[in-house]
Amino acid sequence: MDQAQALIDAAAGRPGDDDADRGPYRLHAYVVLLLTTGIRPEEARALRWDHLDLEAGTVAIWRSDRSGGDTKPAGSRRTLKLPEIALGALRERKVAQAADRLKAGELWQDGGLVFTTSTGTMLDQHNIRREFRQITKAVGLGEDWVPRELRHTFVSIMSAGGVPVEEIARVAGHKQMSTTELVYRRELRP
């Protein structure tokens, strides 16, 4: 939990990282969303504003940037209630994106995506990994982490908190509980 909070703080540009005056990383809301909901990185990259209801506090996970646009597996389409920290980060993201849009002017490509470059195009997974490594380095976790590990962390934290594996599997979009138990969950305590 301490490492997860430190990661969120570093992504937000809060004191404790090397460049606290710089402000939040472009991936701040991305990190918070993956860490607090367990959605897949490819689901987050394809997330559109019309799949979010910031008033109701929900996100509909219906697509991904995988070939064909389906979630993995297709049956893992789901609507999730968002925690307050994710709602706050997404609201900040919306404001930052509006500033990007104004700055980009005619170069802006509006695809309705939540996580975009400064010109509105989908973030490339390599760019995401590069910035994510900067965040993990800033918090002292090294540079070997990849965004998918946020999903593993989410599952492990939920498990350590006593959430039944059936519920974790449902939220994570796993077809079978064995995937949640054997692939994603890491014991956080002896």
Which of 6-15, 62-71, 85-94 reaches the highest mean pLDDT? 85-94
- Identify whether 186 is part of a domain: no
Choose, from 40, 63, 93, 185, the residue flagged as catalytic.
40
- Identify whether 104 is part of a domain: yes
CATH of the domain at 139: 1.10.443.10
- Identify whether 185 is part of a domain: no
Q: Reply yes or no on whether 184 is catalytic.
A: yes
CB of 137 closer than 8 Å to CB of 143: yes
Query: What is the pLDDT, as a whole number, of residue 161?
Result: 86
Give the ranges where 19-164 is alpha helix by DSSP (H). 28-37, 41-45, 84-104, 125-138, 148-160
Task: Domain count for the chain, please give it.
Answer: 1
Q: Reply yes or no on whether 40 is catalytic.
A: yes
CA–CA distances in Å: residue 135 to residues 18, 33, 50, 61, 84: 10, 15, 28, 25, 22
Choose, from 28, 45, 63, 184, the residue flagged as catalytic.
184
Choose, from 22, 72, 103, 186, the residue flagged as catalytic.
72
- Identify whether 80 is part of a domain: yes
- Identify whether 41 is part of a domain: yes
Dihedral sign from CA coordinates of 150, 180, 87, 106: positive
Q: How far is the C-alpha of 149 from the C-alpha of 80, rounded, in Å?
A: 20
The parent domain of residue 83 ranges over 2-147
78 contacts: CB under 8 Å, gap ≥ 6: 60, 61, 170, 171, 173
Q: Reply yes or no on whether 186 is catalytic.
A: no
Q: Reply yes or no on whether 148 is catalytic.
A: no
Choose, from 26, 28, 63, 174, the residue flagged as catalytic.
174
Where residue 66 falls among pLDDT bands split at 50, 70, 90?
low
- Identify whether 163 is part of a domain: no
* Tokens 């946020």 found at: 150
Choose, from 45, 63, 151, 185, the residue flagged as catalytic.
151
Q: Reply yes or no on whether 151 is catalytic.
A: yes
CB of 112 closer than 8 Å to CB of 50: yes
Query: What is the pLDDT, as a whole number, of residue 77?
Result: 83
> Which residue type does 174 have?
H
- Identify whether 161 is part of a domain: no
3-61 pLDDT per residue, tens: 899 999 999 986 554 444 446 789 999 999 999 999 989 899 999 999 999 999 999 98
Tell me the whole-structure pTM to 2 decimals. Answer: 0.85
36 contacts: CB under 8 Å, gap ≥ 6: 82, 83, 85, 86, 154
- Identify whether 188 is part of a domain: no
* Tokens 């949640």 found at: 180
